[in-house]
Amino acid sequence: MRHAVFLPPFDGFADPRRLVDLAIAAEEAGWDGVFLWDHMLRWPGDRPGPVGDTWLSLAAMAARTSRVLLGPCVTPLPRRRPQKVAREAVSLDHLSAGRLVLGVGLGVNSGGELERFGEPTGNRELAGMLDESLELIFALWSGTEVSHWGEHYRADGVTFLPRPLQQPRPPVWCAASGSGRPRPLRRAARLDGLFPDAGTPESLGPMLEVVAAERGTLDGFDVVLQAHRGSDMDSFARAGATWALWSFYPPDPVDDVLRAVTAGPGALAR
């Protein structure tokens, strides 16, 4: 079981300098990763508040660490241009010397985060955009010439270099509803990991049955669950989780979170 810090860049952590402090503390305390939410508005948008940019913060964290894995968990690809994400991801992969994990999902409209900016909100359309965006990003990462004419995106004879350091590509985790609907689970099965939104050890079994049926095996596949202070790691392991993402939301004061991170994951588990 690997352990990561997981928090939104909100309030005090909207300041990327504090996130750098957090990443350094996590690395020194033996954590395996640091992952950030990726939002435009303070979720759930019930009040205005400071929000930091996830990708710029990850770049700053990558430049000051050498071991912990880093990534957005998750980036809503339908509200991003795939060519921009492809470029940013490769730069972050190189800057971190191959420590990027890319978390992806449909996105949520909590607090009007999508509709207030004129973004689509229907799950069917968002799912189509997510699938096509992943197809194009993977093609661009190949370093070969790409021509793509899809329903949502276009690339006309373009080649992206350099390629990612991680080959065949950086690992990609896919979010899926904790309700266990099969289509998101089958999408995750084609990638490198599953991050069930609001997933629990009790709900994980049926979800992994779908993934295993699609992949044929769970070997080499990351299974990610959110953990909270006092979570039972034995139940996580029995359920098949390979990562515990320790959630700090609502975000406590910065100094309180830094003290908890400095104590290491063992201080939070039971």
How do residues 177-197 score in pLDDT, each as one tens digit?
Answer: 766 678 999 999 999 999 998
At 44, is the pLDDT very low, low, confident or very high (cuts 50, 70, 90)? Answer: low
Beta-bridge partner residues of 69: 33
Q: Does the structure show a pLDDT above 60 at 15? A: yes
Q: What pLDDT was estimated at residue 112?
A: 87
Q: What pLDDT was estimated at residue 146?
A: 98
**Mean of the per-residue pLDDT values for the chain?**
94
Q: Three-state SS for 136?
A: helix
Radius of gyration of the chain (CA): 18
Q: What pLDDT was estimated at residue 194?
A: 97
Q: What pLDDT was estimated at residue 197?
A: 84
Select the more confidently predicted residue: 45 or 86. 86
Select the more confidently predicted residue: 98 or 177. 98
**Within 13 A of 27's CA, how many CA atoms are on the CB side?**
17
Q: How far apart, in whole angstroms, are the C-alpha atoms of residue 131 and residue 133?
A: 5
pLDDT over 90 percentage in the chain = 85
Q: Does the structure show a pLDDT above 60 at 115? A: yes
Comparing CA positions, the residue from 186, 167, 164 lying closest to residue 176 is: 186
Comparing CA positions, the residue from 57, 72, 66, 71 lying closest to residue 97 is: 66
Q: What pLDDT was estimated at residue 46?
A: 64
Q: Which helix (H) or strand (E) holds 266?
A: none
Q: What pLDDT was estimated at residue 100?
A: 98
Q: What pLDDT was estimated at residue 198?
A: 79
Q: Does the structure show a pLDDT above 90 at 252? A: no
Q: What pLDDT was estimated at residue 270?
A: 64
* pTM to 2 decimal places: 0.96
Q: How far apart, in whole angstroms, are the C-alpha atoms of residue 111 and residue 23?
A: 28
At 48, is the pLDDT very low, low, confident or very high (cuts 50, 70, 90)? Answer: confident
Select the more confidently predicted residue: 180 or 207. 207
Task: Calculate mean pLDDT across residues 140-164.
Answer: 98
Q: Which helix (H) or strand (E) holds 172?
A: strand 172-177
Least confident of 7-16, 55-64, 120-129, 261-270: 261-270
Task: Calculate mean pLDDT across residues 74-82.
Answer: 96
DSSP state of 180: -
Domains parsed from the chain with CATH numbers: 2-267 (3.20.20.30)
